[in-house]
Structure 1
Amino acid sequence: MYITIQAFDKLHGSKPLKLNGIVRLVKEPDNRYDTEAIACEMRHYGKIGYTSNSTRTVIKGCMSAGRVYDKIDENYFAKIKFVKDSTAIAKILTLDEYTEELKDPESDIHYLLEGD
Structure 2
Amino acid sequence: MEISSMMPITSSTMDTYEASKAKELTKSFNEVLKDTTQKVQAQGQRQEELRDACRDFEAYFLYTMFKEMDKTVMKSDLIPEGQAETMFQDMMYNEISKEASQGMGTGLGKMMYEQLSRTYNQFDK
Question: TM class, shorter-chain normalised?
Answer: under 0.3
Higher helix share: 2
The TM-score normalised by the length of structure 2 is 0.17
The TM-score normalised by the length of structure 1 is 0.18
